[in-house]
Structure 1
Amino acid sequence: MEKHIHNTSLFSKSAALTLTAVNVILFFITEAFPSVRAYLSLNSVLIIHGRMYWQFISYMFVHGSLMHLLGNMLGLVFFGTAVERKLGTKQFLILYFSSGLASGALSFAVYAAAGMNHVFLLGASGAVYAVLLVFSVLFPRTLIYLWGLLPVPAPILVAVFALIEIFSQLFSVNSGIAHTTHLSGFAAAWLYVKIRMKKSPLALWKEAYRK
């Protein structure tokens, strides 16, 4: 006889929501104990000389302000839950952590090469940007309402965000924002789509709008 076990816990069914909860909890911990943030954020000196290798992962779970946290968590909840339902939890976690790890590793390489010893990278933005790109591939015709008013197709939103990040990186606009990390997230997701779906996101977007 087949048995069905019903779990009433929403978080047990969604890795995206569980990740969100962990981020929120760690935010309040680091607000209460600011010194913890330095151990969890990614810093090239602490990794090279302090051997704090866990920072390649832990930086994704700490945020510098409430607005920083809210922006990333809204993206993770909205886009992450949809991507997880489509891909499955295992693939979603592979996408999320591989993108976050790749974004952190590339940022680390840039900081170390440039001698940016006092920079501390923190936030889930790289992984969230990766999830956004994959969302736009899986749901290319979805309209996202900016500020609740302006409807923008998901692929166009990704393209606009990418252009903003490239422009900001080249011209040092909003230098306190980790533009390299955001672009790395997009690049990691692009590679994920190429490997898993055997086509580039651009080709899949074109196919979706030919139908």
Structure 2
Amino acid sequence: MIRISDTVKHLLIINVLMFIGTLFVGKGILFYDLFAMHFPANEAFKPWQIITHMFMHGGADLNNFSIMHLLFNMFALWMFGTPVEQVLGKKKFLFIYFSAGLGALALQLGSYYFDYYAALSGIADLNMSSEMLTEIVSIDASDGQYIKGEILSREMMPILAEYNFNPNLINNEAFKSLFEMNVISRNTMVGASGCIMGVLAAFGMMNPNAELMLIFLPIPIKAKYFIPGIILLDLISGITGQSFFSPSNTAYFAHVGGALVGFLIMWYWKKTQFNKNRWY
């Protein structure tokens, strides 16, 4: 059995404590609003969420997936993080871990912003103030699992009145753009998956011939083939929206971003391991 390393143990404890907090503090709503990563155009965004979302695995809609999300990520952190930390040491391991998390966030947010600004172009002629727009895109227009246009339309009327904006200026195309922006701005990110993908990439570079396998596909595959294959599937899922192994609400580009950062860091360290520019 692999003996758990100190830093990995502490990361596991923090993740579990955050999950317990989600269960018992404010019915998940308080924790989620404070610590999940909200889209920066949303009023719920806070700067500390850039880091805290990496330790979140649930919310107000806590369900079996939230529990499985936590268990799978913590198992992967123990399985791959321990041997990586044992070789690299605490400082380098944490550098890869958090850098991968930030890289995951950057790529996923980049994909969100691409869609957000595409929708924003549809209301450019309306000359809405940034304050009013922020309030509109932050409206909770959800009904269960779905965001509904009729709720958004109803809830935005008082905002338009507050800013003395003529609602007749908003035609069908403009409303469609506002609806898309609302949907995008209400996206949230939680989980250590991006961090762990970076650690997984590091493990693969350190142990290219290690044999890995999926739970539902018990065929041993060498890490140098297995890990790039998983990343490729995530990339395809992010582009096409077609899910292979994960739920449809998975932040696929976050997985790709985390793995890419982990690979680049390890590639640089390997290239400069005998160079004075080596990172300590």
Q: Does 1:85 align with 2:86?
A: yes
Which of the residues 53, 57, 69 maps onto 1:63? Answer: 57
**Partner Cα distance (2:115, 2:240) in 1:** 17
CA contact (8 A) 2:212 2:222 kept: yes
Considering only aligned residues, what root-mean-square deviation do their CA atoms show, in Å?
A: 2.0
Length, aligned pairs only: 188
Unpaired runs of 5+ residues, structure 2, are: 59-65, 117-183, 273-280
* Distance in 2 (alpha carbons) for counterparts of 1:186 and 1:102: 8
- Mean alpha-carbon deviation: is it higher for 146-155 or for 168-177? 146-155
Q: Give 2:208's aligned residue.
A: 140
The answer as to whether partners of 2:38 and 2:45 remain within 8 angstroms in 1 is: no
Give the 3-state SS of the residue equivalent to 1:52 in structure 2: coil
Q: Following the alignment from structure 1 to structure 2, what is the Cα–Cα distance between the partners of residues 120 and 193?
A: 29
Please state if 1:43 is matched with 2:43.
no
Report the 3-state secondary structure (helix = DSSP H, G, I; strand = E; otherwise coil) of the residue aligned with 1:152. Answer: strand
The one-letter code matched in structure 1 to 2:191 is G
Amino acid at match of 1:152: I
DSSP-derived class of the 1:150 partner: strand
| Unaligned residue ranges in structure 1 (runs of 5+) | 1-9, 200-211
1:184 counterpart residue number? 257
The answer on whether the counterparts of 2:33 and 2:44 sit within 8 Å (CA) in structure 1 is: no
* Corresponding residue to 1:21 among 13, 16, 20: 13
Report the Cα distance in structure 1 between the residues aligned to 2:76 and 2:57, rounded to whole angstroms.
14
C-alpha deviation, 1:50, in angstroms: 5.4
For residue 86 of structure 1, what is the amino acid of its counterpart? V
Tell me how far apart the structure 2 counterparts of residues 110 and 49 of structure 1 sit (CA, whole Å). 20
Asked if 1:194 corresponds to 2:194, the answer is no
Question: Which residue is 2:150 aligned to?
Answer: none
Which residue in the other structure is 2:185 paired with? 117
- What's the % identity of the aligned pairs? 30
TM-score (norm: length of structure 2): 0.62
Match of 1:151, SS? strand
Which structure 2 residues correspond to residues 152-191 of structure 1 after superposition, within 5 A?
Answer: 152-174=221-243, 175-191=248-264
**CA distance, structure 2, for counterparts of residue 180 and residue 149 of structure 1:** 26
Distance in 2 separating the partners of 1:195 and 1:51: 33
Q: Aligned-pair distance for 1:49?
A: 4.7
Give the deviation of 1:51 after TM superposition. 5.8
Distance in 2 between residues matched to 1:110 and 1:45, nearest whole Å: 13
If the length of structure 1 is used for normalisation, what is the TM-score?
Answer: 0.82
Amino acid corresponding to residue 186 of structure 1 in structure 2: A
Paired amino acid for 1:185 = G
- 1:208 match: none
Deviation at 1:195? 1.7
